[in-house]
Structure 1
Amino acid sequence: MTAQSATSATEGFRAARDFLLQHREDYETAYQGFAWPRPERFNWALEWFDVIAEGNDRTALHIVEEDGSETKVSFAAMSARSDRVANWLRARGVRAGDRIIVMLGNQVELWETVLAAMKLRAVVIPATPLLGPADLRDRVDRGRARHVIARAEDTAKFDDVPGDYTRIAVGGAGADWLDYADAAGESAGFEPDGVTLADDTLMLYFTSGTTARPKLVEHTHTSYPVGHLSTMYWIGLRPGDVHLNISSPGWAKHAWSNLFAPWNAEATVFIHNYTRFDPARLMDEMDRHGVTSFCAPPTVWRMLVQADLGRLATPPREVVAAGEPLNPEVIESVRRAWGVTVRDGFG
């Protein structure tokens, strides 16, 4: 890995981050004294993540599967792995400004890919694996996607999605699909081929389309990486925390609380994958792996309070809800059982 040097943008970001950490329990001081970093140039993957990752063997990402198998990736290893993916994607024709549909689950390759795309100044269009061919045609067309990275089990969905786009499969490649695993053979030294302007596009999210046709929402190299210092502060994340946010890839909340907020704080992203929600198993995993902060939608909180909350021996220090409003009685049940108050954020 090529060690990334801290820049003035890095130091400005660090100063803002550290100010929020210092005044986590003093909202008035934080509110009055905080100033948003406004760099002209900033690449969060290169100028923040790679800087904090250098020589850092603490766990950046910890995934526990339903069968009990685990994957842990350190900050240093994640930096090197994303370098390799960036070099490999560049050799496959990915250029600055190219749009990449990323349709992956909660798997290591998702985090590698987002960091790699950021380093290349490519634009990520996150997509949930639940999408079908009709939705994907719309995303490829309106998103003007030039590349697609998808799980091998989802590649057939693109059989009827026309377009001259690079097809990359994770988990084994079939006909006309490149094998993502080949990226592991690339060099871990990445050199950017240009500067990243703060207002360059980083992500394009399609809205849920609940009431109308899904819309495209643009986020830049500062709106999410810098903007979610606020999420770090609201959740209460600190360096060394183990943060569990229950969210599906493809939705914006996943980027907020499974990428930017925890790694802004230098915390571990903890994931428990399951096919059917089991509150007892979830609490067992939270205890076993020392989860210190927990965010979940109201549907999960309501299922949790139907179980024995006392099963969790060491409750998280910080608990939050996001999505629609959470019932006050659920908040009170958690307060009685765990001694902490669920902070309810919605909108």
Structure 2
Amino acid sequence: MAPDSTPPTNEATAEFRAARDHLLQHRGDIEGARRLPRPEGAYFNWALDWFDPEAHGNDDVALRVVDLAADGEVRAETALSFAALSGRSGQVANWLRGLGVARGDRMLLLLGNQVPLWEVMLAAIKLGAVVIPASTLLSPEDLADRVSRGEVRHVVAESGLTGGFAGIGGDWTRIAVGEPVAGWLSYADSAAVPAPFTPDGPTRADDPLLLYFTSGTTSRPKLVQHTHRSYPVGHLSTMYWIGLRPGDVHLNVSSPGWAKHAWSNFFAPWNAGAEILIVNQPRFAARPLLDAMVRHRVTSFCAPPTVWRMLVLEDLTRWRPPLRELVGAGEPLNPEIIERVQAAWGVTLRDGFGQTETTAQVGNPPGLVVKPGSMGVPLPGYEVTLVDAASGAVVTEPGAEGELCLPLDSTPLGLMTGYQQDPERQAEATAGGFYHTGDVAFRDADGYLTYIGRTDDVFKSSDYRISPFELESVLIEHPQVAEAAVVPSPDPLRLSVPKAYVVLVPGATADAEAARSILEFARGRLAPYKRVRRLEFAELPKTVSGKIRRVELRGRENELHGSGLTGGGESPARGKLEFWEEDFPRD
């Protein structure tokens, strides 16, 4: 239902609307979309200047949260309209203000996918508070680090998770969502406060809005700061990449606490005026999720490659949701996955690339011809330059690889303001007039970018540069392989050789015959210098956000093989279920 009267508006609202509508009008026209009229006003508060005007009298569903039991049965379902969330967030903002939450205060959120998460986020934006999203999987040590380094003044946490803060001292507000907790204020009390909210003044567009702790695949998590401009406005690029439209039902599989959750479960859908659908499961299972997609008529679906790899183990043709847009992000999508989804649903699964430090930078938006293996082209609001890591020179020739960088002479639309409390990392990340992503890619003659790997993931073998992602893409085409991670394994002759850590599909047996089959399969599809020469069946170490920690696997290889290939005797050192190509002599 459209708003029942003219909503309140101002110059900031009009600027944002013009940019958003420009992208909607140039769907399928990437060159036209890049002529984005960027909102440059000094003041902007997304919750007050965009969400509330759009929500005025709007009874369309903004958020639907569905809780499933382990068997897939619906345990609970809650749906709130845009108008209801607008009023409720104003109520929460008034309540928080009464507790002392002020503009610029840092607030840590430890909430799962439940309605209060969205209410508090909107309320915090209205107040001008700075939100620190946290994963519900964090340890007490992680939480202590975030409270300390984040200079947290207020915490909103699920009642069942408040125990993680037991040993953390300090003068900070404690708010529990759920059952009463001794020593914590009850979030339920916010329901007794009036809803109309009046801000204490205008919000500067460049005021801090979000502080994210990165997932730390290689080092201690960095503290990334975004503003009221860089994230809400910056996620216009994400809206365009996904292809969201007003009235869409958008489902994104992502856990709170990580940047991708804000990408696709908050800013991008509500920038478009789409419904956010949340499906909570005690443990991920593909079939109940697919059932929910059909039942709630999902038109747009985003999931990380790990989830896509589990979904394609099912016969997707059995489910026919009215899907129009399918995207994946977090790690590169393997061509095999894209092909299998296309065959089942007739919809192209499109890749995209971004970071905690940015919004969606590169992607395959709707209407762009998808090239297998490519992550797409620069999205509106971003220019992308490839830079040679050794010389610092800009790489221009097609096919040459370089670090993916963003020129800083014109500020990228969704780029962070910087790493907080870490001037050395900040200086390194912005050296030479570029923001350095730390990711290596190459650009073809048509301007498409193809991901190669992190600068610290790409390795040499016999003086050839090896991209783990390329080898992993081949490995998961094998019918028994569910996931794979390739790292260098020390070798006295070749410096290192590619070794694959492999997770098999359910029902497959990790034995010599499976190893032989997988190694032969890869040998037939890879150039000799890229050949996978060692394979080990093992679980893959991951961050709490689901990214593979290749740094941990590389460390294991160095411990196992770094001092030579004998483990104290004549036999080569091996992992528990490790096999080498020498184990399978060819006829």
Superposition TM-score, scaled by structure 2 size: 0.58
Offset, 1:173: 2.3
Distance in 2, matches of 1:205 and 1:338, equals 35
Contact map agreement 1:201 1:221 (CA 8 A) in 2: yes
Q: Distance in 2 between matches of 1:103 and 1:300?
A: 23
For the residue of structure 2 that corresponds to 1:169, the secondary structure is strand
Give distance in 2, aligned partners of 1:89 and 1:4: 25
> Which 5+ residue runs of structure 1 have no aligned equivalent?
none
1:120 and 2:127 are equivalent in the alignment: yes
> Structure 2 CA distance, aligned partners of 1:173 and 1:161?
19
Q: Percent identity?
A: 65
Where does the alignment leave 5 or more consecutive residues of structure 2 unmatched? 1-5, 355-587
Shift in alpha-carbon separation, 1:11–1:198, aligned structure 2, 3 A = same
Amino acid at match of 2:22: F
Q: How does 1:135-284 map onto structure 2 within 5 Å? A: 135-284=142-291
Residue 54 of structure 1: how far off its partner (Å):
0.5
- One-letter amino acid of the counterpart of residue 232, structure 1: M
Q: Is 1:51–2:53 an aligned residue pair? A: yes
- When Rg is computed on C-alpha atoms for both structures, the one with the higher figure is 2
Moved over 6 A (4+): none
Measured against aligned partners, the alpha-carbon deviations of 1:66-103 in whole angstroms (never above 9, x if no partner) come to 14121000000000110110000000010000000001
The root-mean-square deviation of aligned C-alpha atoms, in Å, is 1.1
1:87 is aligned with what amino acid? N
CA distance in 2, matches of 1:174, 1:295: 36
Distance 1:240 1:261 in 2: 13
Structure ranking higher in helix proportion? 1
Q: Paired residue for 1:328? A: 335
2:286–2:311 contact (8 Å) kept in structure 1? yes
Which amino acid in 2 is paired with 1:169? A
Contact in 1 for aligned 2:300/2:323 (Cα 8 Å)? yes
| 307-316 or 48-57, which deviates more | 307-316
Structure 2 contact 18–37 (Cα < 8 Å) conserved? no
**Structure 1 stretch 63-72 or stretch 194-203: which is displaced more?**
63-72
Give distance in 2, aligned partners of 1:255 and 1:304: 23
Match for 1:161: what amino acid? I
Deviations 1:288-328 (A, max 9, x none): 10100000000110111100101222341000000111111
Cα-to-partner distance string for 1:264-298 (whole Å, 9 max, x where unaligned) = 00000000000222111111100110100000000
Whole-angstrom CA distance in 2 between matches of 1:215 and 1:323: 17
1:6 aligns with 2:9: yes
Task: Give me the whole-angstrom Cα distance separating, in 1, the residues matched to 2:323 and 2:289.
Answer: 13
The code of the aligned residue for 1:297 comes to: P
Task: Report what 2:392 is aligned to.
Answer: none
Change over 3 Å in CA distance of 1:138–1:4 after alignment to 2:
farther
If each structure's strand is expressed as a fraction of its own residues, which one has the higher value?
Answer: 2
Partner of 1:23: 26
For 2:110 and 2:243, how far apart are their aligned partners in 1? 30
Greater relative CO, 1 or 2 (CA 8 Å, sep 6+): 1
Letter in 2 for 1:308: D
TM-score by length of 1: 0.97
- Superposition deviation, residue 35 in structure 1: 2.2
CA–CA distance in structure 2, aligned partners of residues 39 and 274 of structure 1: 42
Aligned partners of 1:84 and 1:186 also within 8 Å: yes
| Matched letter for residue 266 of structure 1 | G
Deviation at 1:4, TM superposition (A): 6.6
Match of 2:326 in 1: 319
Query: Do residues 100 (structure 1) and 100 (structure 2) align?
Result: no
Do the aligned partners of 1:298 and 1:322 also contact (CA within 8 Å) in 2?
yes
**Offset at residue 346 of structure 1 (A):** 3.2
